[in-house]
Amino acid sequence: MASDTQKTSTDASVQIVLIGNSGSGKSCSGSTILNQKHFLSDASAKSVTLRCQIETEIINGRTVTVVDTPGWDCTERSLQEVEREIQKVLQTLNGPYSFLLVIKVGLVEVEEINKIYRLEKVLGSSYLEHTTILFTHSDNLEFKTFEQFLREGGKEFQELLRSVGHRCHSWNNRDERSDEDVEKVLENLIKTEMRSSASSSQLSINKKQPSKKIPPEETGSSEKTFREEETPIDAQICQNTVRVLFLGMTKGGKTSSIRNLQKHGEQTENKDVYKYVAPELSLQLIDSPGFDENSEEIQKIICESVSTYKPHVMMIVMSVGRFTPESKRIMQHVQDCLGQNAAKHTMFLFTGKDDLNKKTIDCFIQENADLCELVSKNGNRVHALNNRDASERSQMEELLQKIAIMHEENRGEFYNLEKCSGSVDGKGIRSHLSGAYSWMKKKVGFDHK
């Protein structure tokens, strides 16, 4: 992006401390601000920033110092270690500084907000008064405006915005750097420093203050809810249809993936079920409510989805990004609910393929031992999608081919939560599967060995 902003000469200096969750885009944003790739950033399932790093550049005649810090959901270090690391680097700074809280555009969970307030014990009870929020990955807004995104947040999210005086910005680190956008962020940060200096109230480091308590009633809202009048699908009616149940966290790209697959299909009377029909292959793509770490919610969603739709394939949707301890716990809840016998019916779909750059999805998975183990236990069946480029049909056809092959190998069995061994018998289904398998090999030019 080119900028029309006039460069101004000033003696002011700015010290910025980047804070945020692992994988939020902290390091990349620091490099964007300084217009130099000082901080290592990479699409990885494990945390990249493990130590604090300080870099300085002259921006528009102003000395700008950026401190990058480990994410508080670091996959390689504990939260206590991260807090001590941040505390240590703050003690080395001379003069006023302010915080840039980096959050990835999407659903901001209550648990993440709790962690933001928890930092009060390290950064001081008033640290949010000296904080500006930067929302990264603004391209995830798609057709929504940034203002709409801010308005749609829950009550805990709105309280967080009020705590920082509604100082919020958004950008996409993939875009060419905009001097104007950077200057707006710096202006807000300077205002918070000036206010701190004028009142002679320095941020109290390691001041033990009680963190704000977040009401527990909203531990994550589902995108959808089950309708009581829904009845199970008759397996005999749908015996020639492969039913694919999409499971995943809220805002993980589950619905977008279904809609991209459904471009050449149609929606059924049930708003959560999409139909895709091709020669020798018929799919029902079934959306389900998104979930968070609440184990009871996960169990309810899985039990009701499986009993209602009797899926042949369970597509677990995850976004490309850090596989954090929280992600591991959520996936463990899912695995516990499904049981060991679900492995042969399970495939992992990673959204945000474009975030991988030139890295393959297999390399991405191998970088995190926990994620690698999870995928391995479920037959190493994975696929990656770029939902921002729906015109790339080859990625969709390859996924359909993998579904057909998986269904062929399972001999038409559907997953039964209670018995874990339900099946659709008969010569007709076997003939159908063989035809679908042959069609997909011819369509994609792939032979499964």
- Count the Cβ atoms, other than its own, within 10 Å of residue 279: 11
Judge whether 170 lies within some domain. yes
Judge whether 233 lies within some domain. no
Percent of the chain with pLDDT over 90: 15
- Count the Cβ atoms, other than its own, within 10 Å of residue 180: 12
Asked if residue 252 and residue 184 are part of one domain, the reply reads no
Mean pLDDT of 384-399: 78
Q: pLDDT confidence of 100, banded at 50, 70, 90?
A: very high
Q: pLDDT confidence of 163, banded at 50, 70, 90?
A: very high
Q: Is 297 helix (H, G, I), strand (E, B) or coil?
A: helix
Backbone angles phi, psi at 65, to 5 degrees: -110, 130
**Residues 6 or more apart whose Cβ sits within 8 Å of residue 391:** none
User: Rounded to an integer, what distance in angstroms lies between the CA atom of residue 330 and that of residue 327?
Assistant: 5
The whole-number pLDDT of residue 13 equals 84
Question: Per the structure, how many domains does the chain have?
Answer: 2
Asked if residue 345 and residue 400 are part of one domain, the reply reads yes
Judge whether 208 lies within some domain. no
For the record, the structure tokens of 78 come out as 């504990």
Q: Is the pLDDT of residue 200 over 50?
A: no
Asked if residue 358 and residue 274 are part of one domain, the reply reads yes
- Of 23-32, 90-99, 104-113, 204-213, the poorest mean pLDDT is in 204-213
The whole-number pLDDT of residue 170 equals 87
Asked if residue 248 and residue 185 are part of one domain, the reply reads no
Q: pLDDT confidence of 409, banded at 50, 70, 90?
A: confident
Asked if residue 111 and residue 252 are part of one domain, the reply reads no
The whole-number pLDDT of residue 238 equals 41
Asked if residue 326 and residue 252 are part of one domain, the reply reads yes
The whole-number pLDDT of residue 428 equals 39
Of 165, 180, 198, the one marking the end of a domain is 198
Of 174, 198, 222, the one marking the end of a domain is 198
Nearest CA among 272, 225, 275 for reference residue 246: 272
Q: Is 35 helix (H, G, I), strand (E, B) or coil?
A: coil
Asked if residue 252 and residue 189 are part of one domain, the reply reads no
- What is the pairing mode between strands 273-278 and 266-267? antiparallel
Asked if residue 248 and residue 194 are part of one domain, the reply reads no
Nearest CA among 287, 292, 199, 278 for reference residue 246: 287
* 274-300 residue pLDDT tens: 887 766 668 889 999 988 888 889 999
Mean pLDDT of 42-62: 72
Asked if residue 439 and residue 291 are part of one domain, the reply reads yes
Judge whether 72 lies within some domain. yes
Asked if residue 319 and residue 374 are part of one domain, the reply reads yes
Judge whether 213 lies within some domain. no
Judge whether 149 lies within some domain. yes
* Burial class for 359, CB neighbours closer than 10 Å (0-12, 13-18, 19+): middle
Mean pLDDT of 56-60: 87
- Count the Cβ atoms, other than its own, within 10 Å of residue 159: 14
Average pLDDT over all residues of the chain: 75
Judge whether 5 lies within some domain. no
Asked if residue 175 and residue 77 are part of one domain, the reply reads yes
Asked if residue 326 and residue 438 are part of one domain, the reply reads yes
Q: pLDDT confidence of 177, banded at 50, 70, 90?
A: low
The CATH number for 438's domain is: 3.40.50.300
The whole-number pLDDT of residue 41 equals 56
Is residue 309 within 8 A of residue 232, CB to CB? The reply is yes
* 263-274 residue pLDDT tens: 655 666 777 888
Q: What pTM did the predictor assign?
A: 0.49
What is the extent of the structural domain holding 92?
13-198
Of 140, 165, 198, the one marking the end of a domain is 198
Judge whether 231 lies within some domain. no
